[in-house]
Amino acid sequence: MSVTPAMPATQSPPPRPALFQVSAGNWRLAVLVGVAASTLAAAVLPAFVSFWVVGALAALVAATLVVNAYRNRRYGALLVAPAIAVLFVMNIFPLLWSLGLSFFAYQSNLQSIRFVGLDNYVKVLTNDIAAPANWHALINTGLFVVLTVSAQMIVGFLLALLFAKQFPLRKYLLILVLTPMMLSVVASGVFFTYYYDPTFGILSYAINSIADGQFILMSSKAGAVAGIVFADAWMWSPFVMLLVLAGLVSVPKYLYEAAAIDRVPAWRRFWSITFPYIRGLLMLALLFRTIEAFKLADLVILLTKGGNDTMTISYHLIRIANEQNKTSEGAAISYVMLFMVIVLTNLYLYLARRRTGGN
């Protein structure tokens, strides 16, 4: 008669400590103490001291999480802990620190700081002296978002339709079209500065050879807006083209062959066969380019420096925070922008879910 060996009992993880039990692995208590002490330190202590206090508390919470993961044998969490630490130091901590700074009156050229609550947000959103400039810059930003994104979507879509077909020198032309997207924004801005130059620019030279007088594109708001929109569309239309092209090449050929046998019109083939394959990618390109266009500042700085009523909210934020040293007010504007981008993104996701029939 054989005896079946007993299976070794699985070692259970240690019990979870109570919330207020002092333990090296009680991360809940560490987070609670860290948040409370950080808030108190930011409100009471000087800025230099509170910075190091908050940093020490964040390190305490991180160490507690590591100990808890080790005790509970969550080795996968320990493996990704260095990446999470880098993400926290480089992204999350500056984000939280700037959020806290928006509730204080602080200027980078002064040494004093005091808690003012929501005053900075009230200042940038209501009838303060600076509020009209903020709203006007936001209106200009909305104008640039509509124009640049529309131009990029149209040009990118047409380029994708062109390069979806095989023709001689297609690979070389595709590389040439993708070149603007590979350039830095500064290089492109400098290029268009010379391109629009009224004295020796290519555009001015071509128009002056036809009409009399010197042509200055940036002399009016309409011309300045058109110049910025053209430069931005030249840079980022290839991005839209790549996304749409990925959808076009994935359409099965037999669908077009069946449509050709049934003599389906070209517009019906596009609407019933092609568009369903590229619709999701078009919406993704629309989301990405809308978020990026909302942050438009570099081309405005290089081409107009905000002149001719082309000031965007991002460039306005840079001037307030860096040139006028109003750090807290700039932080408040940046979080208002962040809130708007989050609303736009959630609206996009809601429309996308409704379009696909999801909940």
Exposure of 276 in the CB half-sphere (CA atoms within 13 A): 8
Question: Burial letters for 193-225: b for 16+ Cβ neighbours within 10 Å, e otherwise?
Answer: bebbbbeebebbeeeeeeeeeebebbeeeebbb
Give the H or E element holding residue 104: strand 104-106
- CA diameter of the chain: 112
In a domain, 8, yes or no: no
pLDDT tens, position by position, 53-94:
877 888 888 888 888 777 777 777 778 888 888 888 888 888
- When mean pLDDT is compared across 13-27, 147-161, 177-191, 318-332, the lowest value belongs to 13-27
The predicted pLDDT at position 13 comes to 54
Q: From CA 288, how far away is CA 290, in angstroms rounded?
A: 6
171 Cβ neighbours under 8 A, 6+ residues apart: none
pLDDT tens, position by position, 194-224:
888 887 778 878 887 777 767 788 888 898 9
The predicted pLDDT at position 12 comes to 53
In a domain, 119, yes or no: no
Q: From CA 302, how far away is CA 186, in angstroms rounded?
A: 8
Exposure of 299 in the CB half-sphere (CA atoms within 13 A): 27
Residues 213, 277, single domain; the answer is yes
In a domain, 265, yes or no: yes
Residue at a domain's end among 101, 132, 149: 101
Residues 245, 135, single domain; the answer is yes
Residues 220, 92, single domain; the answer is no
The predicted pLDDT at position 1 comes to 46
Average pLDDT over the chain, rounded to whole? Answer: 82
Q: Which of 46-60, 119-133, 189-203 has the highest mean pLDDT?
A: 189-203
Burial-class residue 24 by CB neighbours within 10 Å (0-12, 13-18, 19+): middle
Question: Burial letters for 245-278: b for 16+ Cβ neighbours within 10 Å, e otherwise?
Answer: bebbeebeeeeeeebeeeebeeeebeeebbeebb
In a domain, 196, yes or no: yes
User: Can you say whether residue 346 is alpha, beta or left, with left for phi > 0 and alpha for psi between -120 and 50 degrees?
Assistant: alpha
Task: Look at the chain and report how many structural domains it folds into.
Answer: 2
Residues 129, 90, single domain; the answer is no
Q: Are the C-beta atoms of residues 303 and 232 closer than 8 Å to each other?
A: no
pLDDT tens, position by position, 271-298:
888 888 888 888 889 989 998 888 898 8
Q: From CA 69, how far away is CA 77, in angstroms rounded?
A: 7
Residues 313, 167, single domain; the answer is yes
Name residue 332's amino acid.
Answer: A
Name residue 50's amino acid.
Answer: S
In a domain, 340, yes or no: yes
Residues 228, 351, single domain; the answer is yes
In a domain, 146, yes or no: yes
Residues 171, 128, single domain; the answer is yes
In a domain, 19, yes or no: no
The predicted pLDDT at position 23 comes to 63
In a domain, 258, yes or no: yes
Burial-class residue 125 by CB neighbours within 10 Å (0-12, 13-18, 19+): middle
Residue 37 confidence class, pLDDT cut points 50, 70, 90: confident
Residues 155, 258, single domain; the answer is yes
Residues 145, 184, single domain; the answer is yes
Reported pTM? 0.77
Residues 97, 136, single domain; the answer is no
Which of the two residues, 358 and 131, has the higher pLDDT score?
131
The predicted pLDDT at position 72 comes to 77
CA 123, distance to chain mean position in Å, is: 25
Q: Which of 327, 324, 306 is nearest to 315 (CA)?
A: 306
Residue 33 domain boundaries:
27-101
Residue at a domain's end among 67, 101, 135: 101
Residue at a domain's end among 101, 133, 148: 101
pLDDT tens, position by position, 239-251:
999 999 988 888 8
Residues 314, 179, single domain; the answer is yes
Give the H or E element holding residue 105: strand 104-106
Residues 249, 181, single domain; the answer is yes
Tell me the β-bridge partners of 115. 104
> Which domain CATH number covers 131?
1.10.3720.10
Q: Are the C-beta atoms of residues 329 and 123 closer than 8 Å to each other?
A: yes
Residue 4 confidence class, pLDDT cut points 50, 70, 90: low
